[in-house]
Amino acid sequence: MSYLDSVIERVKERHGSEPEFVQTVEEVLGSLKPVIDQHPEYEKVDLLGRMVEPDRMFSFRVVWQDDEGQYHTNIGYRVQFNGALGPYKGGIRFHPTVNQSVVKFLGFEQCFKNSMTGLPIGGGKGGSDFDPRGKSDDEIMRFCQSFISALYRYIGPDTDVPAGDMGVGAREVGFMYGQYRRLRGKFENGVFTGKGFSYGGSRVRPEATGYGAVYYLLNVLDHFGEDIKDKKIAISGFGNVAWGLCKKVQQLGGKVVTLAGPDGYIYDPDGISTEEKVEYMLEMRASGRDKVQDYADKFGVEFFPGEKPWINAEYDIAMPAAYQNEITIEEAKAMVEKGLEYYIEVANMPTTNEALNYLMENVKVVAPSKAVNAGGVAGSALEMSQNSLRLSWQAEEVDKQLKQIIDNIYQMSVDAAEEYGLGYNLVAGANIAGFVRLADAMMAQGVI
């Protein structure tokens, strides 16, 4: 058995109870074969075996009191996956589906994503199975304070820098940073990114993930000589990432025709193409109702309860932007049947491996989330730079750097796949490009 396969087998044996983590390892390592074949020196120092095990991971109890005085206990997690490229960096997710496997898969992906940005950030991730839906501001604050009381000793501007993810936005980051500052007794605002602008947040960070996804898409369309204005884009989700994406597409004169939530999806044939519609997405999110139907009621478009857009809606570009494993083989087959050409992942691992392989064989372009959504963490790294310089850049400056980083990630992925004889393969190209920088740093730093 090859070295690569033996590492995958070992992960399956050891971590069989962590299906999402195993899935990611199989997907990422699976595409590294041509690289590993050319580098027999990796086996001697067990480079891959070390890469798939986190530097450390821990969980902790988070107790909080609701508005009625009742106490609740949740679990918090942080994985510090790989620190070879910089302080651990990655978001915190509050969602009932969070568990050790989910945090580990996100952390593993993060290492490759952060590597591709070319910036000095290692890979980390965290979260809790806490469900923020329907909670009051006070409840959210008490939860965030308790979460940070357990975590504050292990994070810091040069150690580990968390940020937002699903269920964690500027409000939660504010509560967490406030508690960190109180316990630490220092104004170390570089410990978090995604902060409010008044205390060190960056211009364009709120939009960065969505903008980055559109910049990536523009590169792909450009490669095929196509124009975003002629395309209908279907997305799922309607949170922060979806909002940034719609905002940029609207500025460019394109059309996002769907949004989806836990209650169903909406179809807007004119596209989410006015500022009013884009801004309304923020209101929908802030209401805490978690209902995408509100958009249909407000703008008089059709709502499809309990459905996702993928099978029945009409669109040219699919951009799943909700959560992991949303696209199974069933949706993938429906997409191929309707002649879909562009499948652009936005959420982390939105596609099962079976569906991903099927799509890669049957549609013109598949783009992987770790490259497409890297604008978020890249925006965070730019926030870290501004914090350490103790200044803040104008929106145009941040946006320009963000676009450069994404254009670079796209080009690196294309080049890496070409170099290893894989043609125009953005999925393998991203894995290889992310791997190569990380592997170089790990090789240089000795066996640790």
193 makes contact with ligand GLU (CB under 6 A): yes
239 makes contact with ligand GLU (CB under 6 A): no
Number of residues that bind ligand GLU (CB under 6 A): 9
Residue 209 assigned as binding residue:
yes
At closest approach, how far in Å is the CB of 325 from ligand GLU? 16
Residue 446 assigned as binding residue:
no
Question: x/- site string to ligand GLU, residues 66 to 105, per CB under 6 A?
Answer: -----------------------xxx--------------
377 makes contact with ligand GLU (CB under 6 A): yes
Cα separation, 168 vs 106, in Å, equals 15
Cα separation, 273 vs 261, in Å, equals 19
| Tokens linked to 291 | 């209902």
163 makes contact with ligand GLU (CB under 6 A): yes
Residue with tokens 């807007």: 268
Contact 367, 390 (CB under 8 A): no
Q: Dihedrals φ, ψ of 287, to 5°? A: -65, -20
Closest residue by beta carbon to ligand GLU: 91
Residue with tokens 């926030």: 383
Contact 363, 425 (CB under 8 A): no
At closest approach, how far in Å is the CB of 368 from ligand GLU? 13
Residue 89 assigned as binding residue:
yes
The helix/strand count (H/E) of the chain reads as 19, 12
DSSP code, position 321: -
At closest approach, how far in Å is the CB of 181 from ligand GLU? 19
Residue 210 assigned as binding residue:
no
Question: Which of residues 258 and 373 has its CB atom nearest to ligand GLU in the complex?
Answer: 373
Contact 193, 383 (CB under 8 A): yes
Residue 159 assigned as binding residue:
no
DSSP code, position 327: B
Contact 389, 200 (CB under 8 A): no
398 makes contact with ligand GLU (CB under 6 A): no
In DSSP terms, which residues pair with 344 in a beta bridge?
367
Residue 195 assigned as binding residue:
no
SS3 211: helix
Question: Which of residues 209 and 295 has its CB atom nearest to ligand GLU in the complex?
Answer: 209
Question: 11-35 burial, b for 16+ CB within 10 Å, e for fewer?
Answer: beeebeebebbbbbbebbbbbbbeb
SS3 45: coil
At closest approach, how far in Å is the CB of 92 from ligand GLU? 8
At closest approach, how far in Å is the CB of 113 from ligand GLU? 6
165 makes contact with ligand GLU (CB under 6 A): yes
Using the rule CB under 6 A, give the single segment among 14-22, 143-151, 253-261, 375-383 that binds ligand GLU: 375-383
At closest approach, how far in Å is the CB of 329 from ligand GLU? 25
Active-site pick, 12, 33, 125, 308: 125
Residue 255 appears among annotated catalytic residues = no
Among 250, 258, 324, 380, binds ligand GLU (CB under 6 A): 380
Contact 124, 160 (CB under 8 A): yes
376 makes contact with ligand GLU (CB under 6 A): yes
Contact 384, 408 (CB under 8 A): no
Question: Which of residues 163 and 409 has its CB atom nearest to ligand GLU in the complex?
Answer: 163
Positions annotated as catalytic residues are 125
- The residues that touch ligand GLU, with contacts defined as CB under 6 A, are 89-91, 163, 165, 193, 376-377, 380
